[in-house]
Structure 1
Amino acid sequence: MGEVLALALPFFGVIFLGLGCGRLARIPESGLAWLSFFIIYVALPALFFSLVARTPFHELTNGSFILATTATTAVCFTLSLLIGLWLRHGNLPEASIAAIVGSYSNVGYMGPGLTLGALGAAASVPTALIFVFDSLFFFTIVPVLMAVSGRDQHRLGQTLLLVVRRVVTHPFNIATFLGVVSAYFEFQPPAAIDKTLEFLRNAAAPCALFTLGVSVALRPMGRVGGEVPWLLAIKLVIHPALIWLVLSLVGGFDPVWIATAVLMASLPPALNAFIMAKQYDTYVAGASGGVLVGTVVSVATVTAMLYAIQHDMLPHGLLQ
């Protein structure tokens, strides 16, 4: 148990350190701007490029894994959307943001550090694949739902073009694409560049986690609606269980890939839930409360999942 706590507590410790600093320090949210820019446009892209570029190319084209994990996330999104529609009285924009809380893991800020720390370099490929394709799903489905609901004033065609542009120009996706190209050509960067990339990727996790804590601290904590416990149950319990079930049914995956997918699915809601709520000016308090409560609760659930993975308690298949 000591090894698990030694792995988990630094991650959550940095988050709560940021949370405490955000509550105590009288610094406006604009003070995060350059650090956020560094994380999104420099450190995390360096991390994802390095993860993918060092991977044998044939492992990056595992279509069955991509389809299984993304489809499972879509199922959790749909289930959360239905709960949101039920408890938010048919309000599609609010239900769409609620569905993000119930299905979008914090795969960017928390995912790589936890999976690589728990499972080693073998977790790099499934981590990158889940991040890229889950993000593509959410960056596509949410704007489309907002356009359908009338919350987004653009026409559906304009919205789809905007979605494509954002996906193509997102720094994480660009870095991953360059990593795939590097893996295909087996490109080895010069020592100085490789050292710079190592320096940057080592900064990614602590900076991202601290920023996550500060960002959560600065969010208004409004009344948590009755749907939030249901959404968090889907996010923290049903999502990882369903991922394990689907991957086990499909079969043929390395146990490390299964463990990586389950651990990624067990992460708390992504901060993007609040960002999208602010963007569309809907369900802001619910998204803020869901991210904050989900992050706190996940201290227990993610630690338990890490314990299960570290002690090989996660079944490798349905027949085991």
Structure 2
Amino acid sequence: MANIVALLLPFFGLILIGFAAARLTKQPAEALGWMNTFIIYAALPALFFKLVSRTPIEDLARIDFIVSDIGATYLVYSALFAITYFLRRATFADSTIQAFAGAYGNIGYMGPGLALLAFGEAAAVPVALIVCFENAMHFIVAPAMMAVAGGDRRPPFKLAADVLRKVVLHPFILSTALGFLVAASGAEVPLAGQRLVDYLAQAAAPCALFAMGVTLALRPLKRVPVEIGYLSIAKLVLLPGTVYIVLSLAGDFDPVWVYSAVLLAGLPTATNVFVISQQYGVWQERASATVLITTTLSVLTLPVLLYLINARILPPDLFP
């Protein structure tokens, strides 16, 4: 357990430092803009390119793994949407955002650094695949659902073109695709380029976690809506459990791939959920509260999850 605490302390420590810095310096939210730009357009893409480009191409073609992970995620998403829309009688738009709050984890900011520290370089490929393909799926589903809800009134062809452009041109997708090409071709990146990529990649986790802490500080919690209780349980417990079961049923995957997917599924709600809620003017304050509360609760749940993995209480394959 001491090793797990030592692993997680730097991560939550960086979030806490960012939180404290925002509260003490009283900088406006706009001051975070260039750091977020650096993280999204430079540091994290460099990390994904580095991870993918240095991996044998046969390890990158695991469609069964990708489909199983996304299928498990949207199984939970669908269940939460049904509960919210049919049982709690929320609007279609509110139900869409609430389902994302319970199924869209902070895989981009927290996932790569934490998984690599926990499982080593062997976690590089599954993490890159999960981050890119899950984000791409979320970028497609969110506007599609909001269009059905009436919150997005763009013509269908324009909506489809905008979604496609957003997916194809996203820095995470582009950097991963470029990494695929380098891995497939066997080309060598010049030494100067490798060093630049390494420098940027090393900055990804610290900057992302610091920025996350700042973002949380700039969204103070005013009240705790009742639905955040079951959404937190779904995000931090149900989703990693579902991913674990589905991957066990789907095939014989490398243990590190399974554990990486389960760990990423157990991360708190992504700040992108709040961004989506702001974009459509739906469930904004509660989306912000969900991000803050699940991040706080994950200080307790992530050590337990890592302990279960490291102690092999969770076997790599539930159904060998």
TM-score normalised by length of structure 2: 0.97
Question: Cα–Cα, structure 1 residues 272 and 318, in superposed 2: closer, same or farther, change >3 Å?
Answer: same
Listed as ranges, the gaps of 5+ residues in structure 2 are: none
Report the AA paired with residue 253 of structure 2.
Answer: F
Q: Indicate the larger mover: 71-80 or 114-123.
A: 71-80
Distance in 1, Cα, partners of 2:225 & 2:4? 33
Q: Indicate the larger mover: 217-226 or 62-71.
A: 217-226
The match for 2:8 is 8
CA distances 1:2-21 after superposition (whole Å, capped 9, x unpaired): 11111111101111111122
SS at match of 1:102: helix
8 Å CA contact retained: 2:248, 2:319: no
By how many angstroms is 1:220 displaced?
4.3
By how many angstroms is 1:89 displaced?
2.6
SS at match of 2:307: helix
8 Å CA contact retained: 1:259, 1:314: no
Report the AA paired with residue 252 of structure 1.
Answer: D
Distance in 1, Cα, partners of 2:228 & 2:85? 13
Listed as ranges, the gaps of 5+ residues in structure 1 are: none
Distance in 2, Cα, partners of 1:148 & 1:218? 31
By how many angstroms is 1:88 displaced?
5.5
1:263-302 correspondence to structure 2 within 5 Å: 263-302=263-302
Q: Is 1:175 matched up with 2:175?
A: yes
Deviating beyond 3 angstroms after TM superposition, the runs of 4 or more aligned structure 1 residues are: none
Distance in 1, Cα, partners of 2:58 & 2:222? 47
By how many angstroms is 1:139 displaced?
0.4
Question: Cα–Cα, structure 1 residues 318 and 312, in superposed 2: closer, same or farther, change >3 Å?
Answer: closer
Q: How much is the aligned-residue C-alpha RMSD, in angstroms?
A: 1.3
Question: Cα–Cα, structure 1 residues 141 and 18, in superposed 2: closer, same or farther, change >3 Å?
Answer: same
8 Å CA contact retained: 1:83, 1:227: no
Determine what percentage of the aligned residue pairs are the same residue: 43
Distance in 2, Cα, partners of 1:195 & 1:9? 28
The match for 1:43 is 43
Q: Indicate the larger mover: 36-45 or 79-88.
A: 79-88
8 Å CA contact retained: 2:255, 2:317: no
The match for 2:200 is 200
Report the AA paired with residue 184 of structure 1.
Answer: A
Distance in 1, Cα, partners of 2:162 & 2:299? 36
Distance in 2, Cα, partners of 1:120 & 1:135? 23
The match for 2:29 is 29
Distance in 2, Cα, partners of 1:19 & 1:91? 33
8 Å CA contact retained: 2:70, 2:134: yes
Distance in 2, Cα, partners of 1:69 & 1:248? 11
Distance in 2, Cα, partners of 1:8 & 1:304? 11
8 Å CA contact retained: 1:241, 1:262: yes
The match for 1:317 is 317
Distance in 1, Cα, partners of 2:21 & 2:286? 23
